Amino acid sequence: MKKDIMSISEKIRDQLMPRAKGIKVRDVRIGLGYTAVLLDNGQAGVAFTFNESMKKGCTIFTGLHPLVGRDASELLTFLGSDDKIEMAVALATANALTNTMKDGLQEGDILEYIHVTPQDKVGMVGYFSPLLPRLKKMTSSILIFEQIKERQGDLLPEEDAYEFLPQCQVALITSTSILNHTIENILDAARSCREVALLGASTPLIPGAFADTPVTFLSGVVVARPQEMLRIVSEGGGMRLFKKNVKKVNLSLQ
């Protein structure tokens, strides 16, 4: 990626800065599975926590302290950080600001809206196991890429995605790729795909951040019960426990 081209993280930051000013952070939970941010307007957002990248020692987050009471714009400045925990705090803040029920959102599973034919080859970057039973009824050609060094059964190393995604018609990509700064290269490999969906609770529902990319769908969540979500995140919970407290939503960019 050329340095003079803004990253998606930078686009998210710049688009949300004006909106974030004056909105205060009420609570932050950095859990083992997810990070959650609650704003003083009652809105909450989550993002995946790369817990294996946590610093050693008794202080995991070494950035701004305290976070609570700060302007949301201060937390957004972490977008683009090489520290994945700072990135999780920033993206959860961005999602708290933007992931709300609004016109254009379609509730439900992404496979209800994305078009997959029996002839299509689907590349899945990130292992979305709940999607597989239904996806296998749509097509028999599915490639799954994960952060592993060698092939493990049906799972291929993430590095293989750069070779095989250009051969796919449909790409389903985890939004954690924003957090570890691989998203630009992955989207570049998926540029010839007919459908490209960004998936997961970390997904920011910000169409402008994905202008000039091949992304056709943003599939994320809107937090419906913020206090319960904070509790689940604090207790190390993830998507299986989120279900009753979020709404799965999809936003078409076409």
Q: What is the pLDDT of residues 128-157, one digit of tens each?
A: 999 999 999 999 999 999 988 899 988 999
Q: Which residue has the higher pLDDT, 51 or 169?
A: 169
Domains in the chain, CATH or no CATH each: 8-98 (3.30.390.100), 105-224+242-252 (3.40.50.11590)
Tokens coding 190: 């998926």
Q: What is the mean pLDDT of the chain?
A: 93
At 1, is the pLDDT very low, low, confident or very high (cuts 50, 70, 90)? very low
Condensed to tens digits (0 to 9), the pLDDT of residues 45-83 reads: 999 999 775 666 666 677 778 999 999 999 999 999 999
Alpha helices in the chain (DSSP H): 8-20, 72-76, 84-98, 132-138, 161-164, 176-179, 183-189, 226-234, 239-242
At 2, is the pLDDT very low, low, confident or very high (cuts 50, 70, 90)? very low
Condensed to tens digits (0 to 9), the pLDDT of residues 225-253 reads: 999 999 999 999 999 899 899 999 999 99
